[in-house]
């Protein structure tokens, strides 16, 4: 038997051998992070950070004397030159490897939602833009690029993607989400996971579960969702990422669902995620989430109780630092309140992940010594990916023919987001996450604004008119005058992303209405009054209630925080260089009063003759226009399919316009009669199809019947026999439709059943 005081030799260092010789203090050290840079200069990038951390960050060598599980955000907390940050990270890792008794390096983690959150690193479009692209393959390439940057910086784990399904446009964190359809979220999010993890970086899916369903659209509010909604909508993307994407880490949500906080929910984190889905990675706490069981949720008497509940539920690692899993948990284990076996279970998972990452290798220190500096974090290849994703994600909502703009057009580009680089980025971009507290530090990126990008092609004048928020109208006159003297007015409105009230959207920046912030609508209306055709461009992190603009503006363009190449992407759509192909990943609401809303609603949640209120959105999920026209025809599907089989659906699409374009073919279905109420529409599959004028494509989709599965009255996930409506279109609109009969016995879905729709496209010349 191994002597507890004798560490294994360098060649015998495995997770099991290390665990066998650990003291309790060394075990607990592996279950916590250390955030050395937080709070020292007033940066606030986590909820209640000041209350939790105080003014003085812990000293590294003292905190980590017994080892360390995670190093928290060494790049994304304050402006740090990447080379300096990488050197500091290597020094910390070398100290852990050579100066602690067991010599175990830490896992370094960082936010990676729109690129690695580090100064001067490529900032890609926000996840709502991923959803708008309907391009999972491209998002996977973006994930690979982000994983590559992580490895260059010595970062092992990224805290993304967010797989919360959007339920309420008022919620500030909509911009971090992919969309309101669980299959779209799951397929694109899983592709991102595969990309990030392709080269050895650990992705972290979050937030398990229900965070996006918080009451009133308020951040960190309770969620009251039925078990069927949780299982059939909110959990679907996580199941896909775990079972199909092989994600290696997951993060619990802050919220409580029907009174049970996720961080203490053993049925969720262990019973479902581990035992049923087979997840064998690490489960990390959202920042301060373990302590919140005591301080916010009130389900734990003290930090020791909170630690015991979270550990028993399945939370392996307390982040960002150790409030509950150090002294409080040590005391609880020592006096018998928490079994040490629970500690061992978590430590073994952490050590196995470090083993997978190569942190236990005998040559780890040699590899550290060989590393020197960092490469360019914003290389041309990454910028090209950012540009392509931005272009594919821009959604043309309305157009009376004014777009694309003619080459000789005189354009007034006005509005608060017309000439602001910050308007391109979400709240987890380095620019808006960190640099808003450091106004003297440059962005470190070359970013073209909409006005700047348009000025490269057209005669442009510009003025802001007003701020993003506030009631100052003193700039209206200048903006209106410029519009009146121009052929077209491009009014660029929308959001400023920020944290905890420092923006109009983002974490802790929720809304109680869905009007454009501040006096932006009034500015648009005054420009409209000039008679000059108005193209309204939305740079936002959520869908706003802009039905009025769809009726009064010549054109409306939506871009969801399109990243560092977003200005050129929007300008490309406006000038016609880019034929728009983005589609709405969320419904465009008519008002805040219709929230929460999802196109996946039951019949009673739609327009009804027994209510005077109509929740129908101004534009549906999946909507998006092009500068060419597409015809859908010859929809064919098998007449009968076994309940445990595959629906084979085929449809032809023809570009009947005069220029090349990309159609997003969307297949929807509806279970006409079921044992529980089912949605009036459900996305079953999608495909991007690029077609030259006069060309056609035959799109074949093999849809497993499990895409129609749901939880029955006994909460068993099943596919029932019966008739199913199918239709294809460029949104939920039924362009061509048919019916299929599912036959046989009720099929009880298992983990071996397929969850993905396979797509095959064959292009042919139209005769």
Residue 624, preceding peptide bond in cis (omega within 30° of 0): no
CB 80, CB 74: distance < 8 Å: yes
The number of beta carbons lying within 10 Å of the beta carbon of residue 664 is 23
Q: Give yes or no for residue 239 having a pLDDT over 80.
A: yes
Tell me the mean pLDDT in the region 416-440: 95
Classify domain 630-765 at the CATH superfamily level: Immunoglobulins (2.60.40.10)
Q: Give yes or no for residue 346 having a pLDDT over 80.
A: yes
pLDDT for the residue numbered 53? 77
Using CA atoms, how far apart are residues 662 and 216, in angstroms rounded to an integer?
A: 37
Q: Give yes or no for residue 454 having a pLDDT over 90.
A: yes
| pLDDT tens for each residue of 26-81 | 999 999 999 987 765 666 788 888 777 766 678 899 999 999 999 999 999 999 99
Q: Give yes or no for residue 293 having a pLDDT over 50.
A: yes
Tell me the mean pLDDT in the region 123-137: 98
Give me the percent of the chain exceeding a pLDDT of 70. 98
Q: Does domain 387-605 have CATH number 3.65.10.10?
A: no
pLDDT for the residue numbered 1? 38
Q: Which helix (H) or strand (E) holds 367?
A: helix 364-370
| pLDDT tens for each residue of 692-717 | 999 999 999 999 999 999 999 999 99
Phi, psi of 478 (to 5 degrees): -65, -45
Q: What is the DSSP letter of 9?
A: P
CB 197, CB 249: distance < 8 Å: no
Q: Where are the beta strands (DSSP E) in 485-629?
A: 488-494, 534-540, 555-560
State whether residue 177 is helix, strand or coil. Answer: coil
pLDDT band with cut points at 50, 70 and 90 for residue 498: very high
**Residue ranges covered by each domain of the chain:** 387-605, 630-765
State whether residue 470 is helix, strand or coil. Answer: coil
In this prediction the pTM is 0.96
Q: Give yes or no for residue 210 having a pLDDT over 60.
A: yes
Q: Give yes or no for residue 2 having a pLDDT over 60.
A: no
State whether residue 633 is helix, strand or coil. Answer: strand
What's the chain's average pLDDT? 94
CB 394, CB 573: distance < 8 Å: yes
DSSP secondary structure string, 587-605?
-B-S-GGG-S--TT--GGG
């Amino acid at each position: 038997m191994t002597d507890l005081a004798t560490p294994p030799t360098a060649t015998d260092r495995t997770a099991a051998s290390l665990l066998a010789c650990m003291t309790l203090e060394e075990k607990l050290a592996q279950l916590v992070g250390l955030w050395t840079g937080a709070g020292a200069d007033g940066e606030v990038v986590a909820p209640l950070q000041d209350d939790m951390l105080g003014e003085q960050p812990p000293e590294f060598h003292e905190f980590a004397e017994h080892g360390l599980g995670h190093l928290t955000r060494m790049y994304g907390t304050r402006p740090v030159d990447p080379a300096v940050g990488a050197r500091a990270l290597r020094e910390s890792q070398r100290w852990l490897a050579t100066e602690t008794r067991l010599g175990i390096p830490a896992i370094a983690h960082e936010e990676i939602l729109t690129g690695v959150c580090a100064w001067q690193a490529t900032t890609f479009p926000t996840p709502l833009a991923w959803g708008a692209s309907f391009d999972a393959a491209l998002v996977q390439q973006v994930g690979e690029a982000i994983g590559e940057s992580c490895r260059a910086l010595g970062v092992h784990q990224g805290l993304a993607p967010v797989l919360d399904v959007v339920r309420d446009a008022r919620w500030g964190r909509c911009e971090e989400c992919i969309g309101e359809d669980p299959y779209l979220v799951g397929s694109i999010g899983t592709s991102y996971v595969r990309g990030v993890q392709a080269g050895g970086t650990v992705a972290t899916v979050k937030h398990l579960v229900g965070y996006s369903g918080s009451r009133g659209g308020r951040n960190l509010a309770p969620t009251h969702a039925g078990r069927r909604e949780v299982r059939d909508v909110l959990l679907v993307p996580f199941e896909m990422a775990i079972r199909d994407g092989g994600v290696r880490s997951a993060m619990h949500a802050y919220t409580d669902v029907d009174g049970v906080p996720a961080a203490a929910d053993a049925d969720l984190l262990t019973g479902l995620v581990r035992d049923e889905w087979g997840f064998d990675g690490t489960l990390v706490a959202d920042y301060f989430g373990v302590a919140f069981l005591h301080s916010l949720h009130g389900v734990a008497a003290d930090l020791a109780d909170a630690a015991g509940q979270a550990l028993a539920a399945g939370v392996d690692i307390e982040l960002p630092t150790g409030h509950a899993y150090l002294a409080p948990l040590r005391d609880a284990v020592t006096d018998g309140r928490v079994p040490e076996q629970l500690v061992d279970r978590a430590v073994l998972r952490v050590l196995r992940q470090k083993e997978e990452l190569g942190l236990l290798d005998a040559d780890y220190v040699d590899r550290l010594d060989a590393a020197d500096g960092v490469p360019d974090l914003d290389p041309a290849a990454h910028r090209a990916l950012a540009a392509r994703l931005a272009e594919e994600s821009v959604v043309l909502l309305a157009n009376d023919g004014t777009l694309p703009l003619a080459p000789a057009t005189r354009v007034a580009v006005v509005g608060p987001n017309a000439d602001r680089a910050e308007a391109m980025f979400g709240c987890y971009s380095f620019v808006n996450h960190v640099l808003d507290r450091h106004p003297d530090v440059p962005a470190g990126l070359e970013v073209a604004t909409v006005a700047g990008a348009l000025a490269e092609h057209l005669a442009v004048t510009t003025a802001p008119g007003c701020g993003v928020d506030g009631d100052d109208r003193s700039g209206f006159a200048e903006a209106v005058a410029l519009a009146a003297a121009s052929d077209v007015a491009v009014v660029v409105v929308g959001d400023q992303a920020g944290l905890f009230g420092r923006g109009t959207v983002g974490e802790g920046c929720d809304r109680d209405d869905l009007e454009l912030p501040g006096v932006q609508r009034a500015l648009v209306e005054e420009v409209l009054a000039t008679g000059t055709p108005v193209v309204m461009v939305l740079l936002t992190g959520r869908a706003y209630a802009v039905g009025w603009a769809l009726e009064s503006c010549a054109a409306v363009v939506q871009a969801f925080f399109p990243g560092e190449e977003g200005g050129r992407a929007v300008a490309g759509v406006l000038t016609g260089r880019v034929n728009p192909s983005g589609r709405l990943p969320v419904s465009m609401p008519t008002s805040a009063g219709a929230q929460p809303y999802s196109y996946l609603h039951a019949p009673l949640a739609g327009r009804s003759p027994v209510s005077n209120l109509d929740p129908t959105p101004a534009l549906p999920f999946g909507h998006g226009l092009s500068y060419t026209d597409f015809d859908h025809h010859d929809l064919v599907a098998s007449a009968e399919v076994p309940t445990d089989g595959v629906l084979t659906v085929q449809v032809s699409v023809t570009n009947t316009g005069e220029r090349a374009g990309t159609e997003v073919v969307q297949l929807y279905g509806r279970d006409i009669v079921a044992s529980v109420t089912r949605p009036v529409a459900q996305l079953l599959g999608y495909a991007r199809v690029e077609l030259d004028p006069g060309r056609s494509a035959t799109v074949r989709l093999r849809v497993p019947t499990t895409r129609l599965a749901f939880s029955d009255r006994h909460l068993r996930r099943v596919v029932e026999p019966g008739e199913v409506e199918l239709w294809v279109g460029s949104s939920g609109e039924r362009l061509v439709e048919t019916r299929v009969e599912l036959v046989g016995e009720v099929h009880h879905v298992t983990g071996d059943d397929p969850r993905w729709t396979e797509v095959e496209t064959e292009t042919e010349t139209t005769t």
